[in-house]
Amino acid sequence: MYYQGEAVHRLQAHQIAALGVARTFQNIRLFPAMTCLENVQAAQHLIASRLLVPRLLRLPSACREDRDLEAKACATLLRVGLEGKAALLAKNLSYGERRRLEIARALASNPSLLRLDEPVAGMRRSEAAQVADLVRSLAAGGMTVLLIEHNMAFVMALCSRITVLNFGQVITTGSPEDVRCHREVIAAYLGTGQNDA
């Protein structure tokens, strides 16, 4: 597996992240006892200075960077629709808000590729619509989004190119229109109507 010409299949997760790849998880992985702002700031380690002495001495340059990073984290919360929730503990968010916080945390490292794993699993339709709007805005801004999702209606309405897998094997790749009419996709995901009970 390659990303921007570099083999990534043997790299550690932090090394892949350093290449500009961020991800969310199918099962939400936040720091529940930390605030929304702290969750996003924890993910800024790839864009923050690694110089320890200025931070320990609280030099003006380190203080400026801390303010800049906090402003970026707040802007990221705003981008995912969590403005006004910066001081709220992650564990006190609704399910849909926790999903959006996880996306905010993934965005905190300024990735070029964002991998979303089942981002609308368990969400109400209105919450899923908010995520769809967010993904559209990210893509419109030039970010590549790799979406892994079983909600076919969500995928068909959102994606420009779809690859369908069944037990790890590619069935087809194409536009939503092409995929929707593909015989094997219908059989694997929608059923053929014969002996499906």
Mean pLDDT by 10 residues, the chain (197 residues): 86 89 92 97 83 74 87 96 95 94 95 95 90 94 93 90 92 92 85 51
In degrees rounded to 5, what are phi and psi of residue 162?
Answer: -130, 135
User: What is the CATH classification number for the domain harbouring 124?
Assistant: 3.40.50.300
Does residue 172 lie within any of the structural domains?
no
> Is the residue at 188 inside a domain?
no
User: CA 34 to CA 40: how far, in whole Å?
Assistant: 10
Of residues 39, 165, 177, the one with CA closest to residue 108: 39
Whole-number pLDDT of residue 195? 46
What is the span of the domain harbouring residue 149? 2-159
Q: What is the pLDDT of residue 192?
A: 60
Answer yes or no: is 56 within a domain.
Answer: yes
Determine the pLDDT at residue 190.
67
State both tokens at 104.
């905010």
Check residue 180 and report its DSSP letter.
H
Does 27 reside within a domain? yes
According to the model, what pLDDT value does residue 9 have? 86
Q: Confirm whether 105 is domain-assigned.
A: yes
Would you state the pLDDT for residue 172? 94
Contact call for residues 96 and 124 (beta carbons, < 8 A): yes
Give the pLDDT of residue 4.
Answer: 85
Model's pTM, two decimal places? 0.84
From residue 92, how far is each of 24, 42, 96, 103 by CA, in Å? 19, 18, 12, 17
Q: How far is CA 34 from CA 23, 50, 64, 92, 96, in A?
A: 20, 22, 23, 10, 17
